[in-house]
Structure 1
Amino acid sequence: MPAFPAALPAPRTPDPMAAPALRWGVLGTGWIAERFVASVRRHTRQRFTAVASRDAGRAKEFADRHGVARCHGSYEDLVAAPDVDVVYVATEHTSHLACARLALEGGKHVLVEKPIGLDAAQAAEIAGLAARKGLYCAEALWTFFLPKWDVVRQVLDSGVLGEIRTVLADMGEHFDAGHRILRPESAGGPLLDLGTYPVSLATWVLGAPAEVQAFGQPHPAGVNGQVSAILHDPHGNQAVVHTTLFSDTPTTATLAGTRATLSLPGPFHQPGDLVLTPSGGGAPLTYTEPRTAHDALHFEAAETARCIEAGLRETPLRPLADSVVTLRAMDAVRDRCGITFPQVPR
C-alpha cells in the first residue's frame, strides 16, 4: 500500500489559453449560457460565432451583450451554419435530447449541459448517435473538468485512501416561487439540477450501484422537494447522498477510505479546497485554489476543443458511459420515490 504522501499532487490541467480555437454556436440564452460564454471568452481563445433562441429578440440581446457575431431565431438555422464547429446546448433539461439530436444530425460536435438527458435512455440515445456520426459529444458537468478534480483523480488513482467504504455528498439550495426548478413541466425538483452532482460523485467513485434505496418529500409546487438515498456497490460500500430545494445546506462531500479520508468543503462541486487526512489522526494535507465559482466553466470548453482537435470522440474526464451510469442511478432513485417527469414514460 502506498505511504501517506508528503504533499498533495498538483493538477495536470493544461492551460485553457493553449487549447485550439474552435468556432462555437450556443443553443439557449439562459442563466448557464450567460456564465459559460462569459467565462470562456475571458479565459480561452474559443470564438462564439452564433447564438440561437426560439425568441429572436432574446438571441439578439444575448449576442449584443457578449459580442457574439450572429444571432438566430431558430436552433435549426444555427446548426446549419457552416462557421460553427461545435454546439453548446444550454436549453432547459427537457430540450437537451432534441437539441443534441439536432446538432449531431447536422454534423456538429456537441457539448450538452448537465444532465445530458432526463434519464439513462436519453443519455444512451445521444451517446449512440454521436458514435454513429463519428462526432465528439460530452456532458457539460463542469465539476469533472476543474483542476481541483484532477487532484481528486490523482488521489484516487494513488490508492492512498485504501478501500473507499463511504461516500457522503449533499447539495441543497433554497429557491423562490416562480423559479424553473419548481415547474413540473420543466422536469423540476432538485434531482436533475442539484442531485446530479452528489450522484455523479458517488457513481464515479464506487461505480454503478448494485442497489439503491431512497426517500423523497414533495414540494407544494407539485415537484419533488428533497431526496435522500443510499447507493451501495457489490461489496457493500455505501454512498449516502442528499439533495433539496427547500433549504441551503452545507453542500460538502467526503470520500472515506480505510487508510485516509478526502474532504471537499462546500460547495464541493466548485473550485476550492481539498483536505486529505490519514486515518487515526495525523497532520492533514490541504490543496487550495481560488473560489472562482462559475467563472471556471471555461475548463470544459478548453477540454472539448483539445479533444476535437485530437480526433477524440469523447473526453476521458467524463466519458459518456459515466453519464449513462449516473442517470441510471437517478432513474432508480426516482423509481423508489415515485418521482415522475411528464416527458419520460415509466
Structure 2
Amino acid sequence: MTDIRWGILATGGIAHAFTADLRTAGLDVVAVGSRSAESARAFAEQYGIAHAHGSYEALVADPEVDIVYVASPHSHHLAHATLALEAGKHVLIEKAVTLDADEAIALRDLAAARGRLVMEAMWTRYLPHMVRVREIVAAGTLGEVRTVIADHTQRISDDPAHRLNALELGGGALLDLGIYPVSFAVDILGPIESARAVGRLAETGADSDVAIAAVHAGGGLSSIAMSSRAAGPNTAHVIGTDARIDIDRVWYTPTSFRVTATDGTVIEDYTSAFAGRGTQFEALYAEHLLREGRTDSDLLPFDESIAIMATLDDIRAQLGVVYPKER
C-alpha cells in the first residue's frame, strides 16, 4: 500500500485528538462515521474530511477507507472492530483494546482470517521518549532492571453517569487509566506472571482507585497505582542496579526524562519536542506496517495486548468488578 486512507469511527473527545494529530502529520483522513449524521457532518467540517457518514455501517462500507480508527467506548470495541474487519478494513483500536481477553482473542482470530492489521492504539508505546527509554534499557545502561514504578491518577468525575463510572461502558480506572502503566511495565519487564491488587469501588461498582503489585517474567517487580478520583504525580521510574530512569510528569504523554547513575551522575537528559499531542506516531507506525504488508505490530504485538487484557481480567476479579455482560 502507498496512499493509506483513514476513516474515523465515533466522534468523541479521543477521536478529535487523534484526528487533529493525523492532520498535523499530514496523513490522509477521508471519512468519519457517527451514529448521528449531524455529528459526523460537524466533525468532517472541522477537520476537512470529505465523507461524513451517519452510521458506522456506512463508514466501513466506504470504498475509499483503508484503515478504521475505532474510538468508541471499550464496551463497543469488539462490535465496531468486527464491523470494520468484516468489511475488509484494517483497524487501529483505542485502548483498552476490548473489555476482556476473550473479546481480544476473537478480534485477533478474525483479523488473521481476513489478513488484516489489528492493532491496539496504546499511543504511549510509540512516543519518541518511550522509544529512547527502550533503547537505554536494551543497551544495558541501567544494569539489571529490577523495578518499574508508575501511576496514572486523575481527578475526573464523581458523577455516576460519567463514562468512567459506567460499568455498561467498561468504565473504571483500570481499563481507562491503569492500562497505561500496566502496559508500560510489561514493555520494560516482560509479561506479568502474577499480580495482586487492592482497590476501592465507586457507587456504580466501577473501580475508582487501584494499586497493583506484580511479578514479571525474569523476576522484575512493578508497583502501579491508578485513580479517577484523585490526581497524583503521574511520573514513572525504571530502576536498575547501575542507574535509573525518572520520567517526568506526565510520563505517558510527550515529556522529559533523565538517566541517573547510582552515584548521582546524570548520564542523559531527554526532552520531547515535536508538534501535536503525539498520537500521530502510532498512526505512522500502522502505516509503516501496512506498506510492508505486515498485520501485527512488533512494538505491541496483538498477543501481548491479549495477555495484558488477561491480567486486567484477573485484577478485576480480585477487585470484584463485574461488567453487565458477565452477569
Match for 1:43: what amino acid?
A
Match for 1:260: what amino acid?
A
Aligned counterpart, 2:316: 334
The answer to whether the 8 Å contact 1:270/1:291 transfers is no
Match of 1:287 among 246, 270, 275: 270
Match of 1:182 among 165, 169, 189: 165
The whole-number CA distance in structure 1 between the counterparts of 2:286 and 2:266 is 38
1:221 is displaced (CA, Å) by: 4.1
Aligned counterpart, 2:304: 322
Say yes or no: does 1:114 pair with 2:64: no
Match for 2:129: what amino acid?
K
Aligned counterpart, 2:193: 210
Match of 1:268 among 235, 251, 262: 251
Match for 2:238: what amino acid?
L
The answer to whether the 8 Å contact 2:254/2:277 transfers is no
The answer to whether the 8 Å contact 2:289/2:296 transfers is yes
The answer to whether the 8 Å contact 1:271/1:289 transfers is yes
The answer to whether the 8 Å contact 2:22/2:29 transfers is no
Say yes or no: does 1:79 pair with 2:93: no
The whole-number CA distance in structure 1 between the counterparts of 2:114 and 2:310 is 24
The whole-number CA distance in structure 2 between the counterparts of 1:329 and 1:167 is 17
Match for 2:233: what amino acid?
P
Match of 2:70 among 85, 89, 92: 89
Match for 1:329: what amino acid?
T
Aligned counterpart, 2:280: 298
- Correspondences of 1:1-346 after superposition (within 5 Å): 20-44=2-26, 46-176=27-157, 177=159, 178-290=161-273, 295-343=277-325, 345=326
The answer to whether the 8 Å contact 2:9/2:56 transfers is yes
The whole-number CA distance in structure 2 between the counterparts of 1:22 and 1:112 is 17
Unaligned runs of 5+ in 1: 1-18
Once the two structures are overlaid, the 10-residue window that deviates more, 146-155 or 205-214, is 205-214
The whole-number CA distance in structure 1 between the counterparts of 2:170 and 2:121 is 18
The answer to whether the 8 Å contact 2:258/2:266 transfers is no
The whole-number CA distance in structure 2 between the counterparts of 1:301 and 1:291 is 15
SS in 1 for 2:277: helix
Q: Percent identity?
A: 38
The whole-number CA distance in structure 1 between the counterparts of 2:133 and 2:119 is 20
- State the TM-score, normalizing by the size of structure 2: 0.95
- State the TM-score, normalizing by the size of structure 1: 0.90
Once the two structures are overlaid, the 10-residue window that deviates more, 235-244 or 140-149, is 235-244
1:309 is displaced (CA, Å) by: 1.1
1:282 is displaced (CA, Å) by: 2.1
Unaligned runs of 5+ in 2: none
SS in 2 for 1:311: coil
The answer to whether the 8 Å contact 1:208/1:329 transfers is no
The answer to whether the 8 Å contact 1:172/1:243 transfers is yes
Q: Deviations over 1:171-230 (max 9, x none)?
A: 101113243112222111111110010100112222222211100101234421110010
Once the two structures are overlaid, the 10-residue window that deviates more, 229-238 or 322-331, is 229-238
The answer to whether the 8 Å contact 2:186/2:216 transfers is no
Once the two structures are overlaid, the 10-residue window that deviates more, 275-284 or 28-37, is 275-284
SS in 1 for 2:23: helix
Q: Compared with structure 1, are the counterparts of its residues 278 and 25 closer, same or farther at alpha carbon in structure 2 (3 Å cutoff)?
A: same
The whole-number CA distance in structure 2 between the counterparts of 1:221 and 1:117 is 20
Alignment length, in residue pairs? 325
Q: Deviations over 1:137-186 (max 9, x none)?
A: 11111101111111011112112212211110101011132431122221
Q: Deviations over 1:233-291 (max 9, x none)?
A: 25542111010011111111111111111111111111111211112332342111138
1:61 is displaced (CA, Å) by: 1.2
The answer to whether the 8 Å contact 2:34/2:53 transfers is yes
Aligned counterpart, 1:5: none
